Structure 1
Amino acid sequence: MRFRRRIRIAPGIGLNLSGSGVGLSFGPRGASVSVGPKGVWGNASIPGSGLYQRKKLSGRQTPGFGSAKVSRRELEAELLERFYSSGPRLTAPLDGGSIDLVDSEGASLTFEVQEVAWKHLRNELLDQLASQCEAISADIHSLATLHRTTPSSVPSLEYVRKPFDLQEPSPPELENYHWLWKVLPWHRRKVDAANDAGVEAYQAVHRGWLDARSAHDRKALERQSYFRKRDSGDSAGIEDFLGWHLTGLQWPQDTSVDLALSPEGSRLCLDVDFPEIEDLPHGVPEVAVRARELRVKPFSESAKRKLYAAHVHAVMFRLVGEAFHAAPTLGEVVASGYSQRPDKATGTIRDEYLISVVVERSGWQEIDFSRLDLVDPVDALARFPLRRKMTKTGIFSAIEPYT
């Protein structure tokens, strides 16, 4: 750690690189199973939309005369009812493995329930899992394009109070006594009980709304206080603001950043602890339909190194841009990134710097931030004084960083 101040940028993007699994919800709301004379039917609706779907799950099976046995149709209907009422989720490990159906608490559903669900809802379950896999694959590939959300340095970031958009709940309309029955005690008790329940529910919801508004106001005051620190011109205040701003970024995984601001507030030094290449996903998930498994289509070693190289350059680009955008007094940012690697002489783990760049604001402003999809951070950083030893296939060697 070369600098005295360290911040942590916590994950805020939906990408999960932990390998703990994929989860998706299926059917807990607006879904049921019914048994009628014409067979077993699954009923599904989207609450509040008016859309409704009814699907026949099995045909009529008439039990023999005098039979007391539960028919297969009725048994499957009961098992499907259990499935829907459990708040089911479909999960699978990101590093590959069997697909499991679990309840809202994460416990596996029984074998019988799972088999019936797969029998009648196989296509729906597989389609949803495939959609999740596509989204995860897109998130993995977006590691190389993290720079595309970098803001321009002009105009600088300014304080704007965010409105509180949650509408205040309205009090309930109280029920009046019926003119014909208002003298009857039982009628009055019934109306009073309904009104009391409505008022009690409203008061609980309104208290929640007041708490949310208070939390919003506190957060707004906190944001404003940090902007005032920055605008005071004091270097310690600017450094506090930069630390607060960078900590609040949306990021795919934990990243530690050390920072130090010069006394006059014009030069910022950043040291970025890059993820290890081993921490990146080993491939993209895909569904093995027949086996009901999630499998990983592995990256080649070359593809993984190129993804890593693109990612660490995108991280550097984004942090430099965020710093210039957040602090208008900055004229120069010195950004260096390192990774933990074993020392070939001793075997101990040590920090090895991979990239170090000195970026002047004037040169940074030449970038067209409206067309970042056309910008390659590997080439963009090379426009500035840069220390980097990297092969075309993304193999890094240690460098001595700028100070």
Structure 2
Amino acid sequence: MALRFRRRIRIAPGISLNLSKSGIGASIGPRGAKISVGSRGVYANVGLPGTGLAFREKLNKRGSPGATSARAGALSRGKVLEQQLKAGGSAVARVRVNEDGEVVITDDDGQPYDETELRVLRKYAGEGMRDMLQQACDRLNADLAALATVHLDTLPPRDTPVFQARAFSEPEPQRRPRLKPTLWSRIWPPARRRLEEQNERWAEQYARDLSEWEDAARAFNDQERQRRVQETELVLTSLDAMANVLEEHLGEIPWPRETNVSFDLGDDASTIAIDIELPEEDAFPDVEYHLDAKQAKVSIKKVAATRRRMLYRDYAHGVAMRVLGEIFHRLPTVQVALVSAYMPILDAGTGQPTESYLYSVLVTKSQWREINFKALVDIELPAALERFELRRKMTKAGVFKSVEPFDVGALASHQTPSDRLSSLS
């Protein structure tokens, strides 16, 4: 006969703490009618003292989980998913296309669906999956699109400083709701202490997070005030402020390929010379991703050499447009800009690195105003630079030959008397 160990500690009238091999539980209620809470669940116990008659029933019943899991295990994952979708439920599908064209479809936890599940998803959400695949292809092809459209965000010229305030992006930390006392924490002091300690830890962590957030917000607002002064006042009188403003905004442009810009401001703040180091054509994408017309498959196609060369041509000219836009928009005192673009190469005779200049262009602010900045999508980029004083050797197919760039002396000679007067006033 097995021995049963049980010890009862009286806490308060009608409440007892039960200690046994199976764990700790509690009994609540008068003699003959108690509710027991323990590791096996919540039970109602009703008896008639002195008669030996008693009734016991589990209160927190759940439908036979073992039988349910057994039935579910008999179904394939695809069948389970299909039943879920038929019943009006939903399924999360994340679509990714790798650079080699492989399509990967996963659930919300990042686990890949098996073949039976994929067939169900195609059946019930085929169009949605195709849309996601097309979006994935568009993301992979984004570089190609950006190379020919980098000029579309070119800014118009301004004669007065412009400042765009920024909002502090870090969200304010939120206080976690306090844990509410449970029945167990009310009757068992150690549980109550643990609950109170947890609430105190959360409160202390919230106070620390809030203090750090407030410090960061104050620092950000101080930087914004300094930036406002620099971009609206100092930019009119200080070469250092002009350089800081231009460097910051050029650095914020999401160039689709690494593009380095260096510049030198004239002593009277009315001229600027810019050198642009362009990427090599080999750094441009050479493949394009296409979604199959009928199946949920992605194919990879080579970009034709002619198209790739034209993309490079448009990018080389679009960069100049974008840089000129930043100059005449951010620096009101600048009246003439010299932009020269080059590719780094190795000298065939010496083996030393050197620069091969593709074009060099002189642009005045008055000439820059003639561009219709509301119709940039209609501009032919190579033709746009031809409106200004330009040195360039390029074939119709977009093949560049090296040119000798303008020197900085050309800036002063290119200024008109009115340009000099406006920059000095």
Which bracket does the TM-score occupy, shorter chain normalised? 0.5 to 0.7
Distance in 2 (alpha carbons) for counterparts of 1:171 and 1:342: 61
User: How many matched pairs?
Assistant: 324
Percent identity reads 27
The correspondence of residues 112-191 of structure 1 with structure 2, limited to 5 A, is: 113-122=113-122, 123=126, 124-164=128-168, 168=172
> Gaps spanning 5+ residues in structure 1: where?
1-66, 82-86
What's the offset of the Cα at 1:215? 5.0
Cα separation, partners in 2 of 1:89 and 1:172, compared to 1, 3 Å: closer
| Corresponding residue number in structure 2 for 1:71 | 74
Distance in 2 (alpha carbons) for counterparts of 1:378 and 1:276: 18
Determine which of 349, 356, 363 is the counterpart of 1:352: 356
Distance in 2 (alpha carbons) for counterparts of 1:385 and 1:353: 16
Cα separation, partners in 2 of 1:303 and 1:69, compared to 1, 3 Å: closer
| Corresponding residue number in structure 2 for 1:339 | 343
- 2:223 equivalent to 1:223: no
Distance in 1 (alpha carbons) for counterparts of 2:131 and 2:377: 30
What's the offset of the Cα at 1:192? 5.2
| Corresponding residue number in structure 1 for 2:237 | 233
Q: Residue deviations 1:269-315, cap 9 Å, x none?
A: 10001111111111321235899764322222111111111111010
Cα separation, partners in 2 of 1:238 and 1:70, compared to 1, 3 Å: closer
- 8 Å contact from structure 1 (residues 101, 114) kept in 2: no
TM superposition score normalised by structure 1: 0.66
Secondary structure, aligned partner of 1:399: coil
Name the aligned partner's letter for residue 307 of structure 1.
Answer: L
What's the offset of the Cα at 1:266? 1.1
> Gaps spanning 5+ residues in structure 2: where?
1-69, 85-91, 408-425
The correspondence of residues 2-401 of structure 1 with structure 2, limited to 5 A, is: 70-73=73-76, 90-94=95-99, 96-100=100-104, 113-122=113-122, 123=126, 124-164=128-168, 168=172, 196=200, 199=203, 202-203=206-207, 206-207=210-211, 209-210=213-214, 212-214=216-218, 216-221=220-225, 223-224=227-228, 226-227=230-231, 230-231=234-235, 233-288=237-292, 294-345=298-349, 349-401=353-405
- 8 Å contact from structure 1 (residues 126, 289) kept in 2: no
Distance in 2 (alpha carbons) for counterparts of 1:75 and 1:136: 30
Distance in 2 (alpha carbons) for counterparts of 1:173 and 1:282: 54
Q: Residue deviations 1:187-241, cap 9 Å, x none?
A: 9779857865774675466356435524532541452464378436132332233
- 8 Å contact from structure 1 (residues 88, 101) kept in 2: yes
Secondary structure, aligned partner of 1:369: coil
Distance in 2 (alpha carbons) for counterparts of 1:139 and 1:216: 33
Cα separation, partners in 2 of 1:288 and 1:114, compared to 1, 3 Å: farther
Distance in 2 (alpha carbons) for counterparts of 1:91 and 1:175: 40
Cα separation, partners in 2 of 1:185 and 1:271, compared to 1, 3 Å: same
- 8 Å contact from structure 1 (residues 98, 292) kept in 2: no
Distance in 2 (alpha carbons) for counterparts of 1:141 and 1:99: 22
Q: Residue deviations 1:237-269, cap 9 Å, x none?
A: 322332223222232232111111111111101
- 8 Å contact from structure 1 (residues 229, 240) kept in 2: no
Secondary structure, aligned partner of 1:238: helix
Name the aligned partner's letter for residue 335 of structure 1.
Answer: V
Distance in 2 (alpha carbons) for counterparts of 1:261 and 1:105: 53
Cα separation, partners in 2 of 1:143 and 1:75, compared to 1, 3 Å: closer
Distance in 2 (alpha carbons) for counterparts of 1:131 and 1:236: 44
- 8 Å contact from structure 2 (residues 161, 331) kept in 1: yes
Cα separation, partners in 2 of 1:307 and 1:157, compared to 1, 3 Å: farther
Distance in 1 (alpha carbons) for counterparts of 2:71 and 2:333: 84
Distance in 1 (alpha carbons) for counterparts of 2:227 and 2:142: 32
What's the offset of the Cα at 1:392? 1.1
Secondary structure, aligned partner of 2:366: helix
Q: Residue deviations 1:105-138, cap 9 Å, x none?
A: 99xx57xx54354333344555412222134435
- 8 Å contact from structure 2 (residues 235, 242) kept in 1: yes
Name the aligned partner's letter for residue 120 of structure 2.
Answer: H
What's the offset of the Cα at 1:343? 4.1
Secondary structure, aligned partner of 2:221: helix
Distance in 2 (alpha carbons) for counterparts of 1:319 and 1:399: 20
Secondary structure, aligned partner of 2:374: helix
Secondary structure, aligned partner of 2:163: coil
User: Which 10-residue stretch deviates more, 135-144 or 356-365?
Assistant: 135-144
Higher RCO by CA contacts (8 Å cutoff, separation 6 or greater): 1
Distance in 1 (alpha carbons) for counterparts of 2:106 and 2:71: 32
Name the aligned partner's letter for residue 316 of structure 1.
Answer: A
Greater Rg, structure 1 or structure 2?
2
Across the aligned residues of Structure 1 and Structure 2, the Cα RMSD in angstroms comes to 4.2
Distance in 2 (alpha carbons) for counterparts of 1:297 and 1:286: 8
Distance in 2 (alpha carbons) for counterparts of 1:340 and 1:291: 44
